[in-house]
Chains A and B, each alone.
Chain A
């Protein structure tokens, strides 16, 4: 569930679920319903046919049974000599038979099974010669139950041993004596001629003995309906046939109607296969279009996501171009506005920072020690009386120096130029301290042309003079500048008093901090200016040994004519 889900997949999935699944369900329902309808039709047709045959058989049996049960109008024995009796019986029975849908044949037998009267000259009814010897078959059962009609299917009474429907009765007079037999025989042929049917059928007796039907496959070697077709259920399937099965009211006949399901099965299979094929095509199409549509619909989203990623990577210049629906356009416009605002804000912020830097730098540059001014002016005051020329010269140096320092237009100068003004400063100091102060400048040519912040050395020289004379008669300052590859190394070294280790530590920590809360303004300003201009990779380092002197080392980038 926590797996990242893409909008594109979501769209695709919804598309498949809401479009494909209903299509599949619809197809399945369609197949089932059509097969069921087909089946229902089959069932109805089989049932109709079955009922038709059942009804016919019921009517036939009923008709001949009723007639057989009727009291026989004349004594059968009289038929042997009385022609009028023969005629009346013949007319009666023939008339009855011809009224029926299924025509039977009749025969009247004497008590000894001799033929007295037959309906048809071609009557095939044969009584076995031994019928008198023992009870056997339908005649045997008639003999056993005189006066009551017997209905059964028997193959005993014709030469071919073909099953036929025997309906007959032993005729008995009131004293229980047998007078003879009245027998109707209905052959399968008789029944078959009385109706037409659309479906194959088979008629058996209750014990499955085949009586009539379409086709030899419904008759096995025992003259029975094969066991495959015989079940208790009213409607069932065997192989590729649907079997409808019904019984006549008296239970004598069982009628089977067979409907071929082979075609149905083939059609059903074809339908399923066809539907599956169409479905397969549809599924293929659906997947294709689902992917395509999902791709199209999520294209804008992807664009938006891409734009956000760009911003994440720091690219503020990218802009979102959306030409799809209005909702996404609103998002894109808002996004673009936001980016514009963001860019402007960033720019403003940068300007502000720049301005702040410059302001700070200006402020740092302007700091000139007022003590120096005071001392110089005091010296000039004496010199004017003692040596007016020197005084004038000093005033010149000072004025040059001041003009240089207050010139706000330049902030970086070549080393040579700055050192020119530093010499003015050193001259002034020399004039003040005389023999007690010496200085030495050693600058290589390559270093001389390097650009440095103006007056960057002045606070260092000032510090050397200010602290160097503590307990010292004279101080010598040496100033060096060397350019080594891309770095410019400068140093201001004195052989003055030096400083205590604690003091040195204090200065070191001061140089590392960003703000100054001590009185060492000059040194801190130098460090701050270098770092503001060139970054934290550059700066000033102080080294000092008590009683031996102090050295300030500057590390600056080599910058010539504004190039690093």
Chain B
């Protein structure tokens, strides 16, 4: 009997050793970013903007930043999915009109640079520190365009441009949504309802081509696939600065400027570092850097405008009721889809 116990105990000990050994191999995963001096940033910005800014922030502060890149919608969905424990600290990017309806997901914080902000871009909402100012523009390929004049939305109805206009599905791309809002307000002269007849004509001139991402628009125009593309200023400017063939047209009917921002999440795990990043991103250096290097418009008053860009004063800026537009987003997108589908059917019928 004694010998039997020895055997049992022996096998138990061996088993325990084995379990311990294999267990140590499959150690609990502990990311470095979960340590204290970290920051998790979710951003729809392109990597060319993210990497140098983040790298410089890291060098400046020693904070280890982890970046999650994704579309604004996707990121907001993710934040909504974990209401109690925020998966990120910050949303960096995301246009004002997109974030405004979900402002409740974000914590109130006003950056230390508030006094340097353009008066219209002050953080009056509490949680919405502006980062850059983005007008919608029409990007043109001059060689492809030739002598066809493009000065605004009206010129896009020119039958010679039929099928060569790059536009995105406003459901999928926020820049396309901004453009839809812009054309409704600009052509409708402040009353979006009056803009819809233009949308119908515009859709028939798209000739059934609707792109999936904003990237397809500026890349398409730059490559010469399209003659004109409806995009945001930076998307076109990145090409325009290097290539004289590419031009930016500010719509004569009216240009809507929509800021994007940097937003602190509620229950952020590293809120101190996140606030530091907000101050940093709205600070003079980064604002100057995005203006000089990244072809963006700063929201600060003390940062000079990129030499390529016309000043806001020289442009026919129009105001948009964002609350109204946002609340009608689903309805308008549905309406746009119907118009687009009908235009296609009619084209087939003819």
Chain A residues near B (Cβ < 8 Å)? 17, 21, 25, 28-29, 32, 35-36, 128-130, 133-138, 140-141, 152-156, 161, 205-209, 221-224, 227, 230-233, 236-237
Contacts and interface: CB of A to CB of B under 8 A. Distances in A.
Contact of A130 (B14, B51, B293): B293
Nearest to A225: B32
Contacts of B62: 206-207
Contact of A28 (B14, B58, B60): B14
B29 interface: yes
A32 B17 contact: yes
A222 B59 contact: no
A207 B293 contact: no
Contacts of B11: 25
B285 A136 contact: yes
B344 to A, nearest CB: 36
Contacts of A135: 284-285
Closest 4 CB pairs of A and B: A207-B58, A134-B288, A130-B292, A230-B32
Nearest to B35: A232
B55 A25 contact: no
B51 A137 contact: no
A209 B58 contact: yes
A207 B292 contact: no
Given A134-B284, A221-B69, A231 B30 contact: yes
A206 B285 contact: no
Contacts of B31: 227, 230-231
Interface in B48-95: 50-52, 54-56, 58-60, 62-67, 69
A231 B35 CA distance: 9
B102 interface: no
15 contacts: A130-B292, A134-B289, A135-B285, A136-B285, A155-B52, A205-B58, A206-B64, A207-B59, A208-B64, A209-B58, A222-B47, A227-B33, A230-B32, A232-B30, A232-B32
Given A17-B7, A21-B7, A237-B27, A209 B289 contact: no
Contact of B293 (A29, A128, A227): A128
B10 interface: yes
A413 to B, nearest CB: 77
B21 interface: yes
A133 B292 contact: yes
Contacts of B288: 130, 133-134, 136
Contacts of B292: 128-130, 133
B27 A209 contact: no
Nearest to B55: A209
Interface in B260-300: 284-285, 288-289, 292-293
Nearest to B31: A227
A207 B47 contact: no
A129 B47 CA distance: 21
B25 interface: yes
A21 B3 CA distance: 11
Nearest to A140: B285
A138 B51 contact: no
Please indicate which of the listed interface residues A32, A223, A237 has the most CB atoms of chain B within 10 Å of its own CB. A223
A221 B47 contact: yes
A170 B58 CA distance: 21
A272 to B, nearest CB: 10
Contacts of B285: 134-136, 140
Given A28-B14, A205-B58, A222-B54, 16 more contacts: A17-B4, A29-B14, A128-B292, A130-B292, A134-B288, A136-B285, A140-B285, A161-B52, A206-B64, A207-B58, A221-B47, A222-B47, A222-B50, A224-B67, A232-B30, A233-B27
B334 interface: no
A32 B18 contact: yes
A25 B7 CA distance: 9
B242 interface: no
B26 interface: yes
Nearest to A151: B59
Contacts of B4: 17
Nearest to A14: B3
A136 B56 contact: yes
Contacts of A153: 59
A35 B18 CA distance: 11
Nearest to B27: A236
Nearest to A137: B56
Nearest to A254: B32
A230 B59 CA distance: 19
Contacts of A21: 7
Nearest to B63: A207
Contacts of B27: 231, 233, 236-237
B289 A152 contact: no
Contacts of A137: 56, 59
A296 to B, nearest CB: 24
Nearest to B29: A231
Given A136-B285, A138-B59, A207-B58, A17 B65 contact: no
Nearest to A245: B32
Contacts of A224: 66-67
A28 B60 CA distance: 54
Contacts of B51: 155, 222-223
A36 B20 CA distance: 12
Contacts of B58: 205-207, 209
Contact of A233 (B25, B30, B63): B30
B53 to A, nearest CB: 10
A211 B32 CA distance: 17
Contacts of A25: 10-11, 14
Contacts of A208: 32, 64, 66
A136 to B, nearest CB: 5
Contacts of B59: 137-138, 141, 152-154, 205, 207
A154 to B, nearest CB: 7
Nearest to B289: A136
Contacts of B18: 28, 32
Nearest to B65: A207
Contacts of B289: 130, 134, 136
A252 B333 CA distance: 50
A130 B11 CA distance: 72
Contact of B55 (A28, A133, A140, A154): A154
A154 B54 CA distance: 11
A231 B52 CA distance: 24
Contacts of A129: 292
A395 B18 CA distance: 118
Contacts of B67: 222, 224
B284 to A, nearest CB: 6
A146 B5 CA distance: 75
